[in-house]
Structure 1
Amino acid sequence: MSGLWRFVRGGGRARTLGSVLLGAGTVLASVGLLSVSGALISGAALKPESLLVLLPLITSVRLFGISRAALRYGERLVSHDLTFRLLGRVRGEAVAHLARVAPAALVGARGGDLLARVRSDVDELQGVYLRLFAPTLVAALVALVTVALVGFVDPRLAPVTLGLLGLAGVALPALAVRAAAAAGRAQNAARAELGAATLEALHGLPDLVTGGGRPAAEGHFARLLATLEAAETRRARVTGAANAARDALGGCGLIAALLLVGQGVAQGETSGPLLAASALGLLASFEAVGNLGSAWATYGSLRAAAARVDGLRALRPAVEDPERPVNLPADPTLRFEAVRFRYPGVETDVLRDVNLTVRPGERVALVGPSGAGKSTLLGLALRFWDPGAGRVTLGGVDLRDLILADARSRFAWAPQQAEVFGGTLRENLCLAADATDDDLLALLGDLGLDGLLARLPGGLSGWVGEYGAQLSAGERARLSVACALLRPAPVLLLDEPTAHLDPANARRLLRAVEERARDRATLLVTHQPELLGPAWRVVGLG
């Protein structure tokens, strides 16, 4: 329970108290409306000598009817505003934390699973306040008022009412939580797996269709859907049983009021209109506790969603900002000094005693077999990880002594797997820095992307497709290099930018890098050293 309470705190005491009071006022207005209506009908049936006797009851019916609508509107307005604020805070914290731990802590994570946690699981948490905490507090307030009122009419009815409301508001939700816990966990797990599998299937759809993987994928989805259906069916059965028990308890309350207060009416101790008022009012009070059983049946699902969101918060970043940071040096010289590194869980070093210096204006190309640690070296420069031994310095200052954002601001990086966002060509380019259309056109021309500009409807305003689906692998790589060249950083890191290019386009790209990054320290990873010109210093790894 304490784990869920964390998702309620922070909404503001005034909003929380206001929401609960408005909710309790709404239910009590319903109780008053039904009670007064019963008293009015009973009083009218007694044929009073003057209708003026019924005027207070008539006025009360109007008052409770209008106030119920107004209170309900206010309660929904405040409670949903509170809920959306809480969800916005939780989702914002989750996304911000992912940004802090990326990319090292997310290696091996499934994109669909992360999306499900940030979106579906956080959305599920809106029920923590709307379905659990607020209704429970409202039910407690309404139960106290109801017991006090029926006790005023007939003291014998007060303990009966308290017992029935206790069964409906405490025992029934507790049983529902226990019965639906496993189903809720299974439902959340199946939803998350279904979301992740769907995203992966959409990304790999061409391979599934052409490679004969369709039957296996369909079978996997069928099993996931069957699991989800079974979990939802189990939870629906618990909800149905809780609703049936709620109605039965409400009926018992009605019968108890008719018997006990009716006995007082028969003995002349209680007026007739109070019989209808107490019976109908008691029945209406079950509105406050009636849905708690079905609501708390979702407790297992909510707790599972909270655990999955907390799982994101449990991810620890591989690097942290220093406690006493050093000022960013003006000199952008990049140096690796006796660097050793191994990935977590791996027994052998990827890099061993690497020494390398890249000064402003120098062009250094890293070559070597796959797995030699070339891309890893770029990752250490970007401080995705810290070396196990040795150090990486910028202008003579250890990167670990610099604020992370400051250190990374000195680098422009074109990754091996070029990321292209759904949008226009211009929007993707201007993520790195603002530039005029003339500058963008000139840069794309230097990189050999004239054909892309001619092919895309709208040129720079042309949509590149989701994940750059309208672009070839070579075009995505050159677009990534263009973004790196646009970024005003003194150190340029390029990870296999020519891997998907023919020799002519590869040489054209390298010439553009030489011309446009003339004064930068440039570190290039390549498997094609034969394409390099004399300006490049080649360093072997592995």
Structure 2
Amino acid sequence: MKTFFRLAGLTRPFAWWMLLAAIIGFATIGSGIGLLMTSAWLITRAAMQPGISTLQLGITGVRFFGLSRGVLRYAERLISHNTTFRILTRLRVWFYEAVEPLAPARLAAFRSADLLQRIVDDIQSLENIYARVIAPPLTAIMITVLMWFLVGAWSTGAAVGVLACQLLAGVAIPLFTAGIARGKARNVMELRTEQQLLAVDLVQGLGELRVFGQLDAYLDRMQRTENHKLKLQKQASFIEGFQEMLSGIAMNAAVVWVLWALLPQLRSGGVSGITLSAIVFGVTASFEAFQPLSGSFQHIEADIRAGDRLFEIIDAEPEVKAPTQPIPFPAEQHVEFKELTFTYPGNSRPALDRVSLSVPQGDRVAIVGPSGAGKSTITSLLVRFWNPSTGTITIGGREITSFDPETLRRNIAVVSQKTYLFGQSIRENLKLAKPEANDDELERALSLAGLESLHTRLDDWAGQHGMNLSGGERQRIAIARMILQDAPIIVLDEATANLDAITEEAVLETIDQACKDKTVLAITHRLHRMERFDEIIVLNEGRIIEQGHHEELLDRNGFYAGMWRLQNEVAV
């Protein structure tokens, strides 16, 4: 229950609104009790054909309770729904504020569809925490107290019997049915998550499934998952119906108990038949407060499961924390890596092992090596997606941990091989780098990136993951972003890895023009136009094995020269 109390604690700012809604809910059911009791009194009294003046009070009572019940029900729904939406808003903001510092390092272990399920569906399921978990027990407790005094005014024995039946309907039966249904809500949530994962993979991998002839098998798997979920939902619905039947029996038992307890008084004249009928109808109406309690017990399990999934992420310690007193970004941007060692979680071999290198301001330095050598890890450490295990990174002589992470990233423009374009317009994708940019600035950046053809297409949809654009256009948009960002430090992380030779040449020419007077760190395994770099660092298995100028490294006839010859032989 620790998770439930943590979730309930998040609703504390709305405690007074929740209490008000519960009180109005109590008044609503109380009006229903009053309506049935006055109706019973009016009908039985009218059967004796008294004068109209005798019935006037009952007629007025029916009108009052009938109208008030409708008005109060509306007010209760208005306040409770408004409170629920406010709670959902708070939960979403709370979750995002907690998750944002975790990205990307601590979220790397989660699949994107699973994260989406937690952000959307798991939080959405928590709307029940007030409307179906907290509020119904509060209302039921108040109705129980009301009926104790109401029935107890005529017979303590009858009040005890009604209380016993209410506890049966409100506690024992829900606990019993919740025990039968235990695990089903959790399993349904897990199956929904699996469906989300399958659906995302289906959309993204539809081409591969068709090519390999596995589409039908994949759809069968999705159908089996859906059938399993439906089976569990049918079982849950059956249990819910069974619980309603048992609650109905408890209500009827309360009525029988009241009749049995008050029968001696009826015979002795202590209670009239009119009063007895009113009490019976009041007891019947009071059980409206106990009907939602079965759902309360069942929703607790779903809420706890959703909370566990959310807290699994929330409780993760951020890899990177902002300093309490960040310093301004320096005007001098000499980048230096000192004895840098880093090991990814779960790996025994370090991705980087005591790496030291220097990138003077205004210089262009290339880091080359085979795939898996640790090149891209340097980018992740430089922009503080991760912190090094040992060693330091400095810019202008100051450790990057002393800068605010957002300030650091604004001053480092990264062009990677995986340029992510959002499913929005080209304009919105460009403004990611400079939100306040006007059309003239956007068109200038596009022109410098060689995308003059997009000047008139700024409002065109880029497509999901930029699929409405070619690979070359996507890379050039990344360059346009870099131009708009106008950062003093540029990192090119395999920026041309997925391009053909002609497009690569054009993109490299564009990058050279855009990076004049900038500090450039280029990471690549393709040795093309390497003579333009001031220094080349050769990385293998996380260690620097060679460094120098292009011609110097060729003359050494070492690892770099071997890579150069191999790539040129393949090209020929």
Q: TM-score, normalised by structure 1?
A: 0.95
In 2, Cα distance between equivalents of 1:378 and 1:227:
45
Q: How many equivalent pairs are there?
A: 537
Q: Which residue of 2 aligns with 1:496?
A: 494
- CA positional deviation for 1:263: 4.1
Cα gap change, 1:461 to 1:428, in 2 (>3 Å): same
Residue 444 (1) aligns with residue 446 (2): yes
CA shift digits 1:97-126 (9 cap, x unpaired): 221111111113111110111111111111
Which residue does the alignment assign to 1:428? 429
Checking the alignment, whether the CA contact within 8 Å between 1:40 and 1:54 is kept in structure 2 is: yes
Per the alignment, in what secondary structure is the counterpart of residue 420 of structure 1? coil
Tell me, in whole angstroms, the C-alpha distance in 1 between the residues paired with 2:156 and 2:44: 22
* Structure 1 counterpart SS, 2:442: helix
Q: CA deviation at 1:431?
A: 1.1
- Counterparts of 1:367-516 in structure 2, within 5 Å, are 367-433=368-434, 434-450=436-452, 453=454, 459-516=457-514
Q: Which runs of 5+ in 2 are unaligned?
A: 541-572
- Secondary structure of the corresponding residue to residue 384 of structure 1: coil
More divergent stretch after superposition (64-73 vs 249-258)? 249-258
- Matches of 1:171 and 1:80 in 2, distance apart? 29
Residue aligned with 1:461, SS: coil
Partner of 1:339: 340
Decide whether the 8 Å contact of 1:446 with 1:508 is kept in 2: no
**Secondary structure at the residue paired with 1:7?**
helix
Whichever residue aligns with residue 116 of structure 2, its letter is L
Work out which of the residue numbers 12, 15, 22 in structure 2 matches 1:13. Answer: 15
2:158 paired residue number = 157
Look up the equivalent residue of 1:440 and give its one-letter code.
L
- 2:34 maps to a residue whose letter is G
Q: CA deviation at 1:140?
A: 0.5
Q: Which residue of 2 aligns with 1:539?
A: 537
Letter in 2 for 1:36: T
Q: Which amino acid aligns with 2:7?
A: F
1:188 aligned partner, one-letter code: M
- Unaligned runs of 5+ residues in structure 1 are none
Matches within 5 A, 1:191-230: 191-230=192-231
After superposition, residues 292-307 of structure 1 pair within 5 angstroms as: 292-307=293-308
Map of 1:293-372 to 2, 5 A cutoff?
293-372=294-373
The SS at the match of 1:156 is helix
Aligned to 1:3: 3
Cα displacement (A) at 1:500: 2.4
1:29-50 CA distance string (max 9 Å, x none): 11111111111111111221x2
Residue by residue over 1:422-464, the C-alpha shift from the partner in whole angstroms, topping out at 9 and shown as x without a partner, is 111111001111333333233323333345x38xxx5111111
- In 2, Cα distance between equivalents of 1:186 and 1:58: 52
* Secondary structure of 2:183's aligned partner: helix
2:185, 2:302 within 8 Å by CA — same for their partners in 1? yes
Q: Which amino acid aligns with 2:335?
A: L
State the one-letter code of the partner of 1:216.
A
Counterpart residue number, 1:525: 523
1:298 Cα deviation from its structure 2 partner: 2.8
- Of 304-313 and 421-430, more deviation after overlay is shown by 304-313
Partner of 1:111: 112
RMSD: 1.9
Q: How does 1:27-38 map to 2 (within 5 A)?
A: 27-38=29-40
Report deviation, 1:390: 1.5
- Native 8 Å contact 1:464 1:470 kept in 2: yes
SS of match in other structure, 1:261: helix
Work out whether residues 7 and 90 of structure 1, in 8 Å CA contact, stay in contact via their aligned partners in 2.
no
Between 1:278-287 and 1:317-326, the stretch displaced more is: 317-326
Judged with a 3 Å threshold, the aligned counterparts in structure 2 of structure 1 residues 260 and 47 are, in CA distance, closer, same or farther, namely: farther
13 and 291 in structure 1: CA distance in 2 versus 1, 3 angstrom threshold: closer
Partner of 2:235: 234
Q: Give the deviation of 1:288 after TM superposition.
A: 0.1
Contact 2:14 2:87 in 1 (8 A): no
For 2:53 and 2:136, the matched residues in 1 are separated by 39
C-alpha separation in 2, matches of 1:47 and 1:531: 108
Question: Using the alignment, how far apart are the partners of 1:406 and 1:445 within structure 2?
Answer: 27
Farther off after superposition, 87-96 or 321-330: 321-330
Distance in 1 (CA, whole Å) between partners of 2:295 and 2:445 is 61
The Cα offsets for residues 395-434 of structure 1, whole Å up to 9 and x where unpaired, read as 1111122222222222112233211001111110011113
Hey, what's the Cα distance between the residues in 2 that align with 1:120 and 1:64? 39
The residue aligned with 2:566 is: none
Shift of 1:487: 0.8
- 1:6 is paired with a residue whose SS is helix
> Contact 1:242–1:294 at 8 Å: present in 2 too?
no
TM-score between the two structures when normalised by the length of structure 2: 0.90
Q: How many Å separate the matches in 1 of 2:324 and 2:424?
A: 39
TM-aligned CA distance change 1:167 to 1:283, over 3 Å: same
**Secondary structure of the structure 2 residue equivalent to 1:73:** helix
Query: What percentage of aligned pairs have identical amino acids?
Result: 33
- Give, in angstroms, the shift of residue 537 of structure 1: 3.4
2:101·2:320 contact (CA, 8 Å) conserved in 1? no
The alignment status of 1:282 with 2:283, answered yes or no, reads: yes
Structure 2 Cα separation of the partners of residues 531 and 505 of structure 1? 14
Do 1:411 and 1:493's aligned partners in 2 also have CA atoms closer than 8 Å? yes
Alpha-carbon separation, structure 2, partners of 1:445 and 1:535: 25
CA contact (8 A) 1:239 1:297 kept: no
Helix, strand or coil at the partner of 2:99: helix
Q: 1: CA distance between counterparts of 2:38 and 2:534? A: 92
Correspondence 1:140 to 2:141: yes
